[in-house]
Structure 1
Amino acid sequence: MPGRTRSPFFRTETTGLLNALEAARTWGMRRFAVASSLGVYIGRSEAVWHEELALPAARLPHLIVAFKKTVEPLTTHGLQGSGVQPVVLRIGSIWGPLMDPQSPFNPIPPCISAALRDRQPQPLYADDGGDSCYAQDAGRAIALLMTAQTLRHDTYNVSSGRPFTDRELADAVQAIIPGLRLDLLPGRRHCPGDDPCLDITRLTDDTRYTPAFDIAGAVADHVAWRADNPR
């Protein structure tokens, strides 16, 4: 929002959250889940991010990430003593059906969309990548957290827990679309090192969740879905 105040956005979002918290208390809900983000870990140098890490005071890339970082204490403190269990979902990079095929937030949908239209995707760097979770897996993880008999924590990472590289993405797309050739640029676009991923040990221990889709399986499922859906 260049040149514009961010106050209306934060006021609207905060009001919505507070109303939802009040409804949860009034209705005596068992649990209340709020969507946070992997962006809360920005500023940490580790390659694997887990829930016990202290969240740094770092400059955040987007006002949505800034708001999601604030919803964590607002939710946990707002429900304290209410009998409603807060569940903070630190959600990773999720992609899948109904996601904007030109999304700037995840390289997978634009790559698949371009390939399906017989166009050359934007250049990918072979060693770039990260932890992207297929939507069906993310939805199942959240459902398990909401229905588990007991939860030992109030904050959980939700993602695949395993990084992939753009080289693996290219191999998966080329395996599904005959004759497609994706040219990869060597190395990484920006800094050396590994793209971070979310540790989902806590999620797995408390719900027995394991992802059903690796990058190849997710690409195959998504291409099949796109056969009958424009996006």
Structure 2
Amino acid sequence: MDGFHDLGGVQGFGRVRHTINSQSYKPVFHDDWEHLAYSLMFVGADHLKLFSVDEARHAVERIEFRQQANTLYFERYVIATATLLVEKGVLTQEELDRALGSKFQLAVPTINKGRPAITGRPPFEVGDRVVVRDEYVAGHIRVPGYIRGKEGVVLHRTTVKWPYPDTIGHGDQTAVHQPTYHVEFKVKDLWGDAADDGLVVVDLWEGYLDKATQRSAASDVTTSLIARSAEQGVTA
């Protein structure tokens, strides 16, 4: 789902607080209570088997815009987990309201049923040039907006296959299992010549990708030549 949660490439939100991963939870979380939000989610997803992690992610996406803007990252997972526990019949809205002492605002319901993955194609290989499918869907999707329609290079394909998020994120257990790919993009291809010469690597499911064609590569060259000619005042 495209919404407030997808802030990749969006400016104006300040520096990202970052700490190096550790086997101890304390350097990973900024505040001591935050690990409890993940623990609560995995009680529902793993211990009780009530929902998948992608359903929890989709519930986060369903949080109303103003509520998203006024809550912290791990607070959103508390809201998402509470929403799913109510939707699965484990808790009620009234029980949550009593525990909080006021109205517990859950994520909004969804009427979208998700979508199946593209299948029947050979897997991509390391070194293949691929294009991210330029799709905007009403339901759950795990493709950042800033890479859609962009071309990159496959660096790695996982040996493990995972349920397609756009399907399993809506509770559909028939989700096709696919590998994911580490795809490398040039920063300038994503944000233009004002960006630096760096690289960005994004992990993407197979169903989000198409193999780049000779035609698309030729089109990129033509577009570049036209833009260069325009800068130099040359007309066709």
* TM-score, structure 1 normalization: 0.26
More helix by share: 1
Structure of higher RCO (CA pairs closer than 8 Å, 6+ residues apart): 1
Give the TM-score normalised by the residue count of structure 2: 0.25
Q: Which has the larger radius of gyration?
A: 2
